[in-house]
Structure 1
Amino acid sequence: AANWQAAVDTLAKKNVNVQCGTTVTSIDEAGLDFQSVEGASNSRLDCDLVLWTAGSKPNSVLMNIVGDGAVPERDLSGRLVVDDTLMVRWEGEHPLADKIFAIGDIASTPTALPKTAQVAFQQSEYAAWNVWASLQGENQLRFRYTELGEMLSLGVSSGAITGPSGLPINFSGPAAALARRLVYAARMPTPAQRLVAGSRIFRDAPIRALSRLFDAASRPDKAK
């Protein structure tokens, strides 16, 4: 909730009109119609360009995964159903059934999880181990998700961070942007990559400073 509010506030400062809880009912060449409350009359928004940025279905490549008459189980959204080791479940016998795993937002897990990079990142380590274990005859690991909070980029010089559940960590602005970049630099796989990512933080500092000055000068309350 804190990150959501920080994002809305940042967009408002840039004169972006955010309409939450709103349903688009129709789109044509001149704009769109929308409802802010179910059952209410439509409102009209004339515009030159409409962008749809919400995901709607898994990659079509997944629909072609078949083998010897077997097909993978899918949920109502078309995602691959996996067990608690992230192994894909099949309808019928597949010769490689115990060696095919799915992670991220294409996987439908026994317990519903957020469709985020944080989940996929954690799943990748389990999936890699379980692929190796399936080839070596070793025991596979059951995936356990650890909620680590959330970080958002809100432009070149701003961000928002919410800590894990139970920890009162909520802050936004330039400090959150810096903390976010430091965390990502620390999570790079090799020392060389961590060094490059870390050096870019300080290399880009003048750009971020100019961005903050521009944002401050362009705010509606400063333009009077």
Structure 2
Amino acid sequence: MKEKHLNNIMLESSCKITDEICLPDTKLPRVVIIGGGFAGLALVEKLKNKNVQVIIFDKNNFHQFQPLFYQVATSALEPDSIVFPFRKQINGYKNVLFRLAEVQEIHPSSNVITTNKGKVHYDYLVMATGTITNFFGMDKVESHSLGMKDIRDSLNIRHMMLQNLEQAAITCDDKERDALTNFVIVGGGPAGVEMAGALAEFCKYILPKDYPEYPSSIMNIYLIEAGDELLNTMSDKASSKTLKYLEGLKVNVQLNEAVSNYDGNEVTTNSGKTILAKNLIWTAGVKGQFPKGVDKKHVVKGNRIKTDSNLKVEGYKNIFAIGDIAALISKDTPNGHPQVAQAAIQQGKYLGDSILSIIENKSVKPFKYKDKGSLATVGKRKAVADLGKLKFAGYFAWLLWSIVHLMSISGFRNKLMVGFNWVVSYFSYEKSNRLIIRNFNPKSSIKNREK
């Protein structure tokens, strides 16, 4: 016992000597990547097994496939089919390490980052921290609604939806039942459109089977968009076709309307309209998130970090930003590149080659984004596609969307799970994951979002 106590004292004292995170000693340049999203992992793939030491920091121990969050939220997929452990991802990469920690501050003068677990020195630092939901300063709306930027958000939406539907079957109050079964989605971009379509199919095919106590017509879905069209980053054809699809699914689309207030029971718009609803899902905007230490003069609209043509953060020699957080402002891209997966992946691949060139004292060409097109689905056999000059909609657009997303998911097992669920759903419209694993508590979900 005495020896064990002595060992504990020695361990404590050794922990107090240094607050650095333990990493293997190396003479190679150290590249620290903050964030394991599409951009961060694309960069890792380029640097794997090269003459650099790569450290990935993330507050989660898994990569999240964000394009399918809405399917988890509407019970079509289980969360473990669209997340993938970082350690499994980098298995076999001899020069890549993962550390579970949240980076709190950057110290550019000393080339050090501070995390909630300790400090780490870097030679090159890459911020790929992504975005969070932007409620545009509407605190009351934020406190009563749910975003969809994290797998936990998707589960919260699923649990909220199922709990409210169960409560609607219990209550004898018609007004309360209406509020419990009305769903409001704010934002007419891809996430909002896909969420509205999935909810509409749930209402049409699942509700009558699971809840024969009341007609499916009791569940109303509203999609509120502040602009005059849906999918405003896509073509007019895609926008009008999407509107037609949603209206065919009986989604109440309200254009040129913006939410001005929400108290958890009633939605108010800027024109004075009110909608009774206990379910509000916010997909209307995002803003960048990154650690302290970046000079505010380099932060632009949307809380994004301004970079030069080589994705280097302005004012710093060895700090870079990629993905949704980066804003490469130029004549061709006055608002930066689109905050989509393909832009993040291209930036990650480009920066991998660039860092290796910099280390070898070679010249670096500026980043050039190649738009490979846009896809959005509105439900089974219904999707829109803009591929350069080729613009089409319907079954083939949906098939293309399905193939692209299935191939983009990390892990063979995940591909298999998602593909199997989609095949079953294709023939039966069945959503087998209608489980309330834990009670949804709005207050606790808000606290978690603030952390």
TM-score, normalisation: structure 1:
0.70
Pairing 1:51–2:281 present: yes
Q: How does 1:86-165 map to 2 (within 5 A)?
A: 86-90=311-315, 97-110=316-329, 111=333, 112=335, 113-164=337-388
Q: What per-residue deviation string (whole Å, max 9, x for no partner) do you get for residues 41-88 of structure 1? A: x122221222222334212xx14145xxx6771113321110011111
Residue 20 of structure 1 deviates from its aligned partner by 1.4
Name the residue aligned to 1:175: 396
For residue 19 of structure 1, give the secondary structure of its aligned residue in structure 2: strand
For residue 160 of structure 1, give the secondary structure of its aligned residue in structure 2: strand
CA contact (8 A) 2:374 2:385 kept: yes
For residue 300 of structure 2, give the secondary structure of its aligned residue in structure 1: coil
- Residue type of the alignment partner of 2:377: S
From 300, 304, 320, give the equivalent of 1:79: 304
CA distance in 2, matches of 1:103, 1:22: 33
Name the residue aligned to 2:268: 33
From 421, 427, 430, give the equivalent of 1:209: 427
CA contact (8 A) 1:30 1:48 kept: yes
CA contact (8 A) 1:73 1:89 kept: yes
Percent of paired sites with the same residue: 23
In structure 2, the CA distance between the partners of 1:197 and 1:71, relative to structure 1 (3 Å rule), is same
Q: Which consecutive residues of structure 2, in runs of 5 or more, have no partner in the other structure?
A: 1-235, 431-451
Pairing 1:64–2:292 present: yes
In structure 2, the CA distance between the partners of 1:144 and 1:18, relative to structure 1 (3 Å rule), is same
CA distance in 2, matches of 1:184, 1:23: 31
Pairing 1:17–2:252 present: yes
- Residue type of the alignment partner of 2:305: L
CA contact (8 A) 1:72 1:89 kept: no
For residue 57 of structure 1, give the secondary structure of its aligned residue in structure 2: strand
- Residue type of the alignment partner of 1:78: N
In structure 2, the CA distance between the partners of 1:2 and 1:197, relative to structure 1 (3 Å rule), is farther
CA contact (8 A) 1:185 1:197 kept: yes
Q: What per-residue deviation string (whole Å, max 9, x for no partner) do you get for residues 132-190 of structure 1? A: 222222211211122222111223443221121xx2x222222212122334566689x
Residue 9 of structure 1 deviates from its aligned partner by 2.4
- Residue type of the alignment partner of 1:153: T
CA contact (8 A) 2:288 2:325 kept: yes
CA distance in 2, matches of 1:203, 1:63: 38
CA distance in 2, matches of 1:57, 1:184: 24
Q: Which consecutive residues of structure 1, in runs of 5 or more, have no partner in the other structure?
A: 37-41, 91-96, 213-224
For residue 101 of structure 1, give the secondary structure of its aligned residue in structure 2: strand
CA distance in 1, matches of 2:375, 2:304: 26
CA distance in 2, matches of 1:171, 1:181: 15
Name the residue aligned to 1:39: none
Larger fraction in strand: 2
CA contact (8 A) 2:406 2:418 kept: no
Q: What per-residue deviation string (whole Å, max 9, x for no partner) do you get for residues 76-129 of structure 1? A: 332111001111112xxxxxx333221222111122322222222222221111
In structure 2, the CA distance between the partners of 1:174 and 1:30, relative to structure 1 (3 Å rule), is same
Pairing 1:3–2:231 present: no
CA distance in 1, matches of 2:240, 2:357: 44
- Residue type of the alignment partner of 1:54: A
Name the residue aligned to 1:218: none
Residue 14 of structure 1 deviates from its aligned partner by 2.2
CA contact (8 A) 1:122 1:145 kept: yes
- Residue type of the alignment partner of 1:64: K
CA contact (8 A) 2:383 2:398 kept: yes
CA distance in 1, matches of 2:370, 2:358: 24
In structure 2, the CA distance between the partners of 1:72 and 1:137, relative to structure 1 (3 Å rule), is farther
Name the residue aligned to 1:216: none
Greater relative contact order (CA < 8 Å, ≥ 6 in sequence): 2
- Count of aligned pairs: 190
TM-score, normalisation: structure 2:
0.37
In structure 2, the CA distance between the partners of 1:21 and 1:71, relative to structure 1 (3 Å rule), is closer
